[in-house]
Structures are given as structure tokens and as C-alpha cells.
Structure 1
Amino acid sequence: MPAMASNTISVCVAFLLIFVLLSQNTHSKSTHDQHDPFKFIQHLEGCHKGQNVSGLQELKKYLTKFGYLNYDHSKHANDEEFDDILESAIKSYQKSYHLKVTGTLDTPTGKQMMMPRCGVPDVVNGTPKGSKKHNHKHKSIHGVAHYEFFFPGPRRWSKTHLTYRFSSSVNQVPGTQNVRSICAQAFQRWAQVTSFTFEEVPATSAADITIGFHRGNHGDGPGNAFDGPRGTLAHANPPRGGNFHYDADERWSSNPGPNEVDLESVAVHEIGHLLGLNHNPDLPDAIMYPNFDHGIIKRDLHRDDIDGIRALYGLQ
């Protein structure tokens, strides 16, 4: 074969390979952008009690996951019927987020439900977290001012020096190369308003807190499985569980664009859970607000977050 013909073939093959790789990358990005585990809610808007609509079973799972619905062993847990129990759960959700309480899946309620969010339930052990006004402190309980958004107990650490390590089941997640320094900054934000100190230890060492990136069902139980891009972004345990998991399928960044999630904003929120604070649906500006917007940076503790953590640990 003449040298010129051979070179031409090589160039064509190279261009073909580049085209295939670019096409795969474009398809991957398109699939990522289109995937939304909460999208089904949009198709249910307008539903109300008495209807039987395909997709209501998924809505029941959503409300169960985030603590608003408990059918026990009722046969209606897995059907498509909009019954009294579902209506009551939607009313509870609407009260938590200060929406108009209609009991129907109206547009504002559906829009709120579809926002990406933390996977920790808003309601723990039947205790709703958003039914009050904005006076957070009440009479003393066990010597500590009661804060509406504690985990039941309340759940606290008995020491102030906490160690943390990184251990992931998914490696090389794009946009997370500097996650160690980002989490160190996030821990420092809480350290500045409490008596806590935080220390990173090697991945092979025992630690109070373990941070990692995971995908799908990653050992936290089926109800806590990650759901791919959007939907549930991360979750963490209250004291003294010590696990903080990022969903590896999200588009993470330390400087997020409009379709990316800010690593540090989520870290500051999840560390709040690790220390004992639950969600606060009252204040969208608070770190402990359950939902996150893509492209938004929210890293600074709100006065409400500071008052909460200091009340939990009896700090004046």
C-alpha cells in the first residue's frame, strides 16, 4: 500500500475515533441532564383525594422516604389511590414548607417536591420539623434550651474532638479532586461557632466520621439508596452514626456552573446532621434547609444554624 494511502487511512481512523468519543461524551452529558428521579411529580400535579392515578405509588414512596407518610401494613401503600392518608401527608408537607395547605398536589407543592435535596427525612419518629413559628427556643430540656430542629433525643456527641476519614466505593468522581480541603473548610465553619475540633486521619484508621462517594444501593439500606443525577444529593447520620455520603452520580464542583452542585455547600449541611441538627424547612437561607439549587453557593452558617448548634450543646 502506498505511504500516502496509508497515512490517509490513519487520519480517517483517528477522526472516526475522536468522533465516537465526542458522541459518547455528548450522550453521557445529555443523559445526565435529562435524568431526574423526582420528575414523575410534575405529571401528578393537580391530583386530589378520591382519584386513582398512575404514579401515585411513587409519590407515596417519596413522602414515606422523607418522613411524611406511614401506611404501616395498609394495602394502600402500594396502590395508585389518593386516599385520606395521602391527603394528610401532603398537608403535613405543605405545613412544613409554609405552602398553602390544600391537601392536593398543586403546582407550588409539586415544584417544591421536585427540588434536589438531602436524603435525610424531614420528619423523624413522627416529629414534624416545620410546624412552628420562628421562635426556636423554648423552655430548658435536660439543661439545654430546646431547639425545634434537633433529632429526637436529642442526639449529641459526648466529646468535642472528632476525627474523620475518607473512604469511597466509587473512585475518581469528576469535580471532586479537592474534596479533602473543601471538607476541611466546611468543618471549620462549624468549629468557629462551637467547641468542636476536627482532624483528618488516614483512610485505614478508625474515625468518628467517614466521608465518601457512593452510587445506588451502597449498604445503607434500600430506602437510602442513591438515585442518580439530581433527586437526592447526599445524606448523613446524626450522632453518633458518623457516615456522610455524597451521591457519586451528581455533577460536583468547587465552583459550580448552572448544572453543577457545590461540594462545600452540601458538606456544611451534612456536617450539621453529623453534629445533631435536623432539617429546618422554615428558612431557605439556613444551611439546614433540606433543598439545594444547582449552581448556587450557600456555605455560610445562618444565625439560625448557629443558635441551633449552640443550643444543642449548651453553649452560651
Structure 2
Amino acid sequence: MASKLCLQLFLLLAFIMPHLISARHFHNHKLSRLLFPEHLIGSSKNDSFVEGIHKVKAYLQRYGYLSNENDNNLSTDAFDDDLESAIKSYQKFSNLKVSGVLDRKTLEHMYKFRCGVKDTFVSAAQEHKNKNTNIEIGGSHYTFYFNNVSWPAERKHLSYGFIHNYPPQFIDPLVRAFQTWEDNTKFSFFLASRVQTADILVSFERGEHGDIDPFDGPGGTLAHSLGAIDGRVHFDADEQWEGEPSEERIDLESVALHELGHTLGLGHSSDPSAVMFAYMEPDTYKTTLTSDDIEGIRSLYGA
């Protein structure tokens, strides 16, 4: 009797286990998602015109890879030399295969959550003329913010304030992010006694909100900073924010640490492990500065 029961259990498990494993793999599998139509996969300069390619141009222009000097060209579906060069620059900075072709990995990368600050600040053509200030320095991957704007030497004790009904549950993650930068730089940060006098103003915003970079609703751009001196840091209020990381939400402290790096004068790093890397996955968090982040800030202000 016992042996028969054991045999039945064995057969039951043999039947169930493959389905359990399959279900677990399905649950953990992240579907490849595209911001752009599937038919764009594999597009290249050889195709001349590709329907919908203007959306890729808009993305690359928004994040600094295409100049807006010729708006008429940006609105067309022409796959020209400028677009190919911009795609190559994007692929290089994103650690993708540099081909100038819109392969699946490149288009999937464009779908990822990211910071709204540009990766590069001049056109691809200017980059080829070595006029791009956003270059890798030595063996490092960090860059500096637009026009290398940084705080003057005498401004090392910076105040911050929260405006536009900033949600109180997200104050602590911001304070921790400030503390992390304070622990690794010559800066110190304190809450302003009057918000009108704060050096750094932090808020949640939606859509058009008074600067040149409107937010795009859920997904896409998570936040942006207007850099040193200006001091404004904006989070997209339409995102699913979480004080602690989870599979479905974005960790606010991680994004805050990144945006404060911009506020201190850093640009984006091409090192995926760095806090200053432009992209943020929903199920990951970065609350510790890497050597690349620290080298970058010390190259601006000294050790």
C-alpha cells in the first residue's frame, strides 16, 4: 500500500513539476517591448524612406543625438546620413553594437525608462569635428553637464527645498540621496529655512511644467535636472514611484541620486553600473556611488 502511494506521488510530481517550472519561467520572463513599430527593426540607410522613422528621429533629437537645426528633415521618414550617424553615436554611448542599423536591441533600448537630460549636447556632425565636450576622460566613462556648468568654489554648502505639494513620503529618500553625495564630495546640504532662498528646488511635475522639457506620462522619461546654478530637480508625477524598490515601481532614491549628480555638474556615464548611467530598470536600484561617479565629481571639484 505504501509503495503504491509513493508511486502515485512520484507520478503526480513528475506531471506537475514541468508545469511549475514552465510557469515560473513565464512569470520571471520579461517580454521584449518596443516603443516603435516592429517593421522598423532592421531599417538602415539603404532603405532611404521608412514609414515611422520620424519617431526615431524625434527620440534621438530629444536626447541629444540629432540637431534641431533642420526641423523639416526631422519630420520626414528619410533615413539619411545624419540619422545613421546619430544611431551610431547612440549605440556607442549605450554599449550596443555600433552598426547604424535599427536592430531589435537598439529599439528595445530606446524603450527603457531613463533620465530626461540629454546624453550628448551637440550634433553628431560636430562630434566628428571633436567639438563635443561630453567625451570620455582617460579610461573613465563619466561626462560633464551641458557647457560644463558647475558650482563656484565658494558654494559648497547648498540648501534645498520642496515645492508644489511635494509628497511627504518621498522626503526621506531625497535626504538619503543628498547624504550620499555629501559623504563623497566637498559639498554639504541643508533644508532651507525659506524655500524661496533654496539653491536646489525639488518637485513632482506633469506634462508641460514650465521648462523646455515636458514630461511624457507613464514610462519613458522619469525625471530631469536643470543642472548646477539653476538647481531645479523634477520627477514625473505620472510614474509609479516607490520609496523602496519593487518589481513594478521605480525606486525614487536611486533616481534622486542620479538627478542630484546632474545638479552638481555631472552628465551621463556610459558605464551601466554607474549611478549616472541614463537608464533605470524598474526592478533594480542604485543607492551607492561607483568609482566612475566619484572620479567624475572629483574631477570637477577636487578630491
State yes or no: 1:118 paired with 2:115: yes
TM-fit CA distance, 1:148? 5.1
Pairing of 1:19-34 with structure 2 (within 5 A)? none
Pairing of 1:1-316 with structure 2 (within 5 A)? 39-40=35-36, 42-49=38-45, 50-73=47-70, 75-126=72-123, 132=136, 135-136=139-140, 149-158=143-152, 159-168=155-164, 171=165, 176-202=167-193, 204-221=195-212, 224-281=213-270, 283-315=271-303
Letter in 1 for 2:75: N
Q: Per-residue displacement from partner, 1:244-280 (whole Å, max 9, x unpaired)?
A: 0000000000123211000000000000000000001
CA 118–41 in structure 1, closer or farther in 2 if over 3 Å, else same:
farther
Paired residues in the alignment total 261
CA 75–153 in structure 1, closer or farther in 2 if over 3 Å, else same:
closer
CA 43–256 in structure 1, closer or farther in 2 if over 3 Å, else same:
farther
TM-fit CA distance, 1:152? 4.9
Between the two proteins, what is the percent identity of the paired residues?
Answer: 41
SS at match of 1:234: strand
Equivalent in the alignment of 1:10:
none
Letter in 1 for 2:220: G
CA 39–148 in structure 1, closer or farther in 2 if over 3 Å, else same:
closer
Q: Going by fraction, where is helix more abundant, 1 or 2? A: 2
Distance 2:290 2:257 in 1: 11
CA 148–302 in structure 1, closer or farther in 2 if over 3 Å, else same:
closer
Distance 2:263 2:233 in 1: 8
Equivalent in the alignment of 1:33:
none
Distance 1:290 1:274 in 2: 14
Distance 2:204 2:248 in 1: 19
CA 295–202 in structure 1, closer or farther in 2 if over 3 Å, else same:
farther
Distance 2:229 2:200 in 1: 9
SS at match of 1:39: coil
CA contact (8 A) 1:269 1:287 kept: yes
User: 258-267 or 102-111, which moves further after superposition?
Assistant: 102-111
Distance 1:273 1:253 in 2: 21
RMSD: 2.2
CA 41–299 in structure 1, closer or farther in 2 if over 3 Å, else same:
farther
TM-fit CA distance, 1:211? 0.3
CA contact (8 A) 1:237 1:243 kept: yes
Distance 1:201 1:61 in 2: 39
Unaligned residue ranges in structure 2 (runs of 5+): 1-32
CA contact (8 A) 2:35 2:111 kept: yes
Distance 1:41 1:92 in 2: 22
CA 275–229 in structure 1, closer or farther in 2 if over 3 Å, else same:
same
Unaligned residue ranges in structure 1 (runs of 5+): 1-35, 137-146
CA 243–131 in structure 1, closer or farther in 2 if over 3 Å, else same:
closer
CA 133–104 in structure 1, closer or farther in 2 if over 3 Å, else same:
farther
Distance 1:207 1:265 in 2: 22
TM-fit CA distance, 1:72? 1.4
CA contact (8 A) 2:142 2:268 kept: no
Q: Per-residue displacement from partner, 1:218-265 (whole Å, max 9, x unpaired)?
A: 0112xx110011100000022111010000000000123211000000
Distance 1:260 1:219 in 2: 26
CA contact (8 A) 2:65 2:121 kept: no
Distance 1:91 1:179 in 2: 38
Letter in 2 for 1:181: D
TM-fit CA distance, 1:52? 2.1
Distance 2:113 2:39 in 1: 17
Letter in 2 for 1:300: T
